[in-house]
């Protein structure tokens, strides 16, 4: 009985395209997770080399074009979606963090002291921490506003209230 690879006379690499599709989907799902962009740094160089070889073979072997184009498109999507999601998250979290910093500074300007918690400036501490991974505390009159970097697992951004700027605190 002939296998799918033998009946279409495709090389073994193309006969395994369900595996390639499955790994692209798995990669896309894992790399889309917040703080797991490092996975992209580790995998994308190998995908780029594979894509270059696949493109050369696509040009040279007309009978394999359709499958190779689909594989390239699926992997391009598997890389593009996490990049877009990480970019969106980075901008959305920073916008929320900037809004919190502005609210905290406004409270200080109006009342002469830092708010004890985010509820004092109209935000739900737990909801902000859960959704945006953003935290605020005011210990002994020193405010601290920080959030987890959206790209790297252990990095933080800390707001400097004196300079009014965000600082990256790498692990």
Strand 142-148 and strand 156-160: the pairing is antiparallel
With residue 73 as reference, give the H or E element that holds it: helix 65-111
**Predicted TM-score (pTM) of this structure:** 0.76
Backbone dihedral region for residue 137 (phi beyond 0: left; psi -120 to 50: alpha; all else: beta)? beta
Low-confidence ranges of the chain (pLDDT < 50): 1-2, 4-7
Q: What are phi and psi of 169, to 5 degrees?
A: -110, 90
pLDDT at 6: 47
pLDDT at 9: 55
Q: Beta-carbon neighbour count of residue 49 at 10 Å?
A: 10
Contact criterion met (CB below 8 Å) for 29 and 17:
no
Query: What is the number of residues in the chain?
Result: 171
Contact criterion met (CB below 8 Å) for 155 and 149:
yes
pLDDT at 41: 83
């Amino acid at each position: 009985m002939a296998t799918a690879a033998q009946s279409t006379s495709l090389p073994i690499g193309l006969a395994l395209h369900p595996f390639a599709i499955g790994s692209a989907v798995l990669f896309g799902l894992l790399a889309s997770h917040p703080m797991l962009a490092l996975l992209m740094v580790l995998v994308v160089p190998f995908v780029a080399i594979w894509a270059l070889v696949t493109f050369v073979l696509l040009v040279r072997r007309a009978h394999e074009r359709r499958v190779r184009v689909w594989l390239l498109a699926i992997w391009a999507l598997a890389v593009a979606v996490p990049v877009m999601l990480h970019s969106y998250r980075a901008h959305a979290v920073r916008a929320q963090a900037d809004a919190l910093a502005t609210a905290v500074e406004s409270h200080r300007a109006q009342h002469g002291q830092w708010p004890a918690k985010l509820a004092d400036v109209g935000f739900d501490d737990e909801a902000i921490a859960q959704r945006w991974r953003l935290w605020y505390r005011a210990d002994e009159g020193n405010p601290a506003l920080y959030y987890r970097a959206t790209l790297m697992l252990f990095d933080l951004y800390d707001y400097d209230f004196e300079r009014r700027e965000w600082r990256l605190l790498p692990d």
